[in-house]
Amino acid sequence: MQKADTEKKNIALLIDADNAPAGKIDFIITELAKYGVVNIRRAYGNWKNQALIGWERVLHEYAIQPVQQFDLVKGKNATDMALLIDAMDILYTKNMEAFCLVSSDADFTPLVHRLRADGKEVIGFGGQKAPEPFVNSCSRFLYLDEDNRAKEVRMRRAADPVQLKSDTKLMNVLRGAIESLEDEEGWASLGAVGTHISNHSPIDPRNYGFKKLSDLFRKIDLFEVRETKNGTQTIFVVRNKKRPKRPAALPASDASIPASDLPAALS
């Protein structure tokens, strides 16, 4: 049984150091602190490789355990296999509710599928080059290597509701989440909508240039967001302005027939 969302989750952080920037480790740790406690922290790579010197400088500061993997065959990386074996070992022997994979390697896609099949949340961090199957398989995915060009594209997309509405996948996810939770008037709790989205898609509003999900909904003129009261608590709700109309309820049939109208054999 998984813990409630309000409780801190136990998280295993597994870093493919060959395919991740060391300079983003503070961002990664800070982000994971929102979801729980990172009890296992491991980074995999051939630590004799000078390309990993950046990671060596931050290992002790962030209490990350380095796992040495020699390049046994030229052109082949043993790091992926070691990380995969450790992930499965942790899955079966440790009480972890969530895994964090830091990599841009599509080879980890089957691992993500396996972890999620066992009910684990998988948070991914990687570069813009990360293949779509890997990104989509994660519970949520955040990009680490946004360059100026990518940032310009993202901000332009964020400023243009037309481009947001043309993103079929995004719109289907947003509409589907609301439809699953809406009341008779079409309103759904924004918090519940956010949870529904994270359970079904790696979509994160920050990847679209917004700090909060409510900002993303407000930017798209097909949705409306408002504050409402739930007892003494103020909550945000959202609805689809163009939601399909539900069919009108059929009038209840009149089951009471006067005895005088019944055939004599039945009265």
Domains and CATH numbers, the chain: 9-145 (3.40.50.1010), 153-240 (3.30.420.610)
* Spatial distance between the Cα atoms of 106 and 53, rounded to a whole number of angstroms: 24
- Radius of gyration of the chain, Cα coordinates, nearest whole angstrom: 25
65 SS3 class: strand
Q: Which is nearest to 46 in space by CA: 72, 70, 17?
A: 70
Tokens matching residue 145: 């290597």
Output the CA torsion sign for 122, 35, 189, 135. negative
Are 43 and 21 in contact by the 8 Å Cβ rule? The answer is no
DSSP labels, 12-39: EEEEEGGGS-GGGHHHHHHHHTTTEEEE
Residue partners of 74: CB distance under 8 A and separation at least 6:
none
Low-confidence ranges of the chain (pLDDT < 50): 1-6, 75, 257, 265-267
Q: Does an H or E element contain 215, and which? A: helix 213-219
* Spatial distance between the Cα atoms of 63 and 50, rounded to a whole number of angstroms: 21
Q: Which is nearest to 193 in space by CA: 151, 133, 163, 235?
A: 235
**pTM, whole model, 2 decimals?**
0.68
DSSP-derived secondary structure letter, 246: P
Phi-psi category of residue 35: left, alpha or beta, with phi > 0 → left and psi -120 to 50 → alpha = alpha
Q: Which amino acid is at 249?
A: A
The per-residue pLDDT for 74 is: 54
The per-residue pLDDT for 166 is: 86
Q: Where are the beta strands (DSSP E) in 92-204?
A: 98-102, 121-126, 140-143, 188-189
The per-residue pLDDT for 260 is: 55
Classify strands 121-126 and 188-189 as parallel, antiparallel or unpaired.
unpaired
Tokens matching residue 267: 């009265």
Are 125 and 144 in contact by the 8 Å Cβ rule? The answer is yes
